[in-house]
Amino acid sequence: MSSADDRTVPGDWLDEVAFDASGLVPAIAQDAADGRVLMFAWMNREALALTGQTGLAHYWSRSRGKLWRKGEESGHLQKVAEIRFDCDEDVILLMIEQVGGIACHTGRASCFYRRLEGERWVTVDPVLRAPGDIYGRTD
């Protein structure tokens, strides 16, 4: 017996994703080995399709207005082990292997490196590699 939520009929899996009015869906990258949340980004249909086709995470940069493959400049690729989405079909979860152990452009393992302590944000994770060494610039 299968539930109504079990979808086994072949079709365009991208049509089931509830992209927002801008054509985007939030995406969370989580380490497949230890479960740590590494980063959050946006995906458009093309980014999600490329991620599914290539097994490497692709995202849409709202600030730059362009598609990008994670690690295209830094070499810190995200190899995708699994793609999931939530019950409302409007959030993507990527279970990934983070090549090089750095997901954040600041040179940290995770973009979530600050913790609220009392009424201030405290940096709790170290820089593993200086951004200037990764990207060849200091911005």
Could you give the CA distance from residue 96 to residue 83 in angstroms, rounded to a whole number? 9
pLDDT class of 5 with cuts at 50, 70, 90: low
Instruction: State percent of the chain over pLDDT 90.
Output: 88
Q: Quote the pLDDT of residue 6.
A: 52
Structure tokens at 78: 């995200």
Q: Quote the pLDDT of residue 39.
A: 98
Q: What is the mean pLDDT of residues 78-99?
A: 97
Where exactly are the structural domains of the chain?
17-135
Query: What pLDDT, in 10s, does the model give residues 11-53?
Result: 599 999 999 999 999 999 999 999 999 999 999 999 999 999 9
Superfamily name with CATH number, domain 17-135: Phosphoribosyl-AMP cyclohydrolase (3.10.20.810)
Candidate from 1-10, 66-75, 87-96 with smallest mean pLDDT: 1-10
Could you give the CA distance from residue 17 to residue 117 in angstroms, rounded to a whole number? 36
111, 128 in Cβ contact below 8 A? no
Closest by CA to 36, choosing from 90, 111, 106, 92, is 111
